[in-house]
Amino acid sequence: MLTYLAKRILYVLPVALGVSVFCFLLVHIAPGDPLTSVLPPDASQQMQDELRKIYGFDRPLPVQFGLWLWKAVQGDLGTSIATGRPVAAEVWRAVGNTLLIACLATVIGFVLGCFFGFVAGYFRGSFLDKFASMLAVLGVSVPHYWLGMVLVIVFSVQLGWLPPGGAGPGGSAAWKWDWEHVSHMILPAVTMSVIPMGIISRTVRALVADILNQEFVPALRAKGLMDFGVFRHVVKNAAPTALAVMGLQLGYLLGGSILIETVFSWPGTGFLLGNAIFQRDLPLLQGTILVLAMFFVGLNVLVDIVQGLLDPRVRRR
């Protein structure tokens, strides 16, 4: 287990470094001088030179990268151009909101996906299987931002049951676990849960079908186990992979929440990214992307480790 752990961590370090190089370069692939986004259009040459020095744009790129990374590791992601506040603080506040909604969506997607996938895999070829497979295809094909709009149309505009967006009275700062606030989470979380539901049900269906085909299943039945006993064994075999897929889906949701957060004006990282793009606030864009990508990388390692703990076969690979 320790060697497996060390191998995973050694493998991920260069990837994490590469990800940070990419995020660093984001500001530099943007067309034009990176300074133009900070400067007023009528800035004098002297002011330009001064700012160039402050931001460190006058040094060679590798040196700039080193300085930027050193600061980033210490939690300093620069200053937002639009608001003048530190990027790290803005991102930190938003990450919590996104995590809240993404976790809820993953749980909904996991429970429903496991249920449909299991039913489909257990009764292969039946009507239930076709229905569950159709649901899975729908889940991965639907443009989720559109689904969000449709849900708003049905449940907010037509029926008036749920609020169409926002984070409830007082915004995210006044968050409480009461109905008035939780009701704002329902539509975005349900919308978001559709993709993991589709993917997890596909995975679980394939897993269950595969496990039921293995020789130990007839052996268990021959031993006299009833359906529930077999079910327990199938779950034990399917769980590590299903959990791994769930973890990765959570990561995808964290990164992919931008469209849904835009539809629902949910004050998370996606909303922040939307603002950063709209105002061409490159430091904010860079910082948010870096944090989200690092979350994803870290989550990947965590998933691998948990999978290794649960399933000794994984460790030997």
Partner 1 sequence: MSAATTDAIPVAITQPLRSPGYWAGVFKRFKRDKVAVGAGLVVLAIILMAVFADYIAPADPTRSSMLRRLRPIGTPGYPLGADELGRDMLSRLIHGARLSLFMGVVPVFIAFAVGSVIGVSAGFFGGKYNTVTMRTVDIFYAFPSVLLAIALSGALGAGVFNSLLSLTIVFIPPIARIAESVTTQVRSMDYVEAARASGAGPGTIIRVHVLGNVLGPIFVYATSLISVSMILASGLSFLGLGTKPPTPEWGLMLNTLRTAIYVQPWVAALPGAAIFITSISFNLLSDGLRSAMDVKG
Chain centre distance of CA 118: 24
**Residue 15 touching partner 1 (CB under 8 A):** yes
Q: How far is the CB of 142 from partner 1 (least distance, A)?
A: 6
Nearby residues of 317 by Cβ (< 8 Å), 6 or more positions away: none
SS3 229: helix
With vertex at residue 33, the alpha carbon angle to CA 28 and CA 36, rounded to the nearest 5 degrees, is 120
Q: Which region among 14-22, 105-113, 220-228, 306-314 touches partner 1 (by CB under 8 A)? A: 14-22
Range 148-187, binding partner 1 (CB under 8 A): 149-150, 152-153, 157-158
Range 84-103, binding partner 1 (CB under 8 A): none
| Phi and psi angles of residue 86, each rounded to the nearest 5 degrees, phi first | -65, 135
**Residue 220 touching partner 1 (CB under 8 A):** no
Nearby residues of 127 by Cβ (< 8 Å), 6 or more positions away: none
The token pair at 66 is 């080193």
Binding track, positions 223-262, relative to partner 1; x by CB under 8 A = ----------------------------xx-xxx-xx--x
Q: How far is the CB of 132 from partner 1 (least distance, A)?
A: 14
Q: Which region among 110-118, 142-150, 183-191, 232-240 touches partner 1 (by CB under 8 A)? A: 142-150
Q: For partner 1, which is the closer residue by CB, 37 or 231?
A: 37
Residue with the two structure tokens 């109905």 = 179
Residue with the two structure tokens 């700012």 = 51
Torsion of CA 99, 104, 106, 109, to 10 degrees: -160
Q: Which residues bind partner 1 (CB under 8 A)?
A: 14-16, 18-19, 21-23, 26-27, 29-31, 137-138, 140-147, 149-150, 152-153, 157-158, 251-252, 254-256, 258-259, 262-263, 273-274, 276-278, 280, 282, 285, 289, 292-293, 296-297, 300
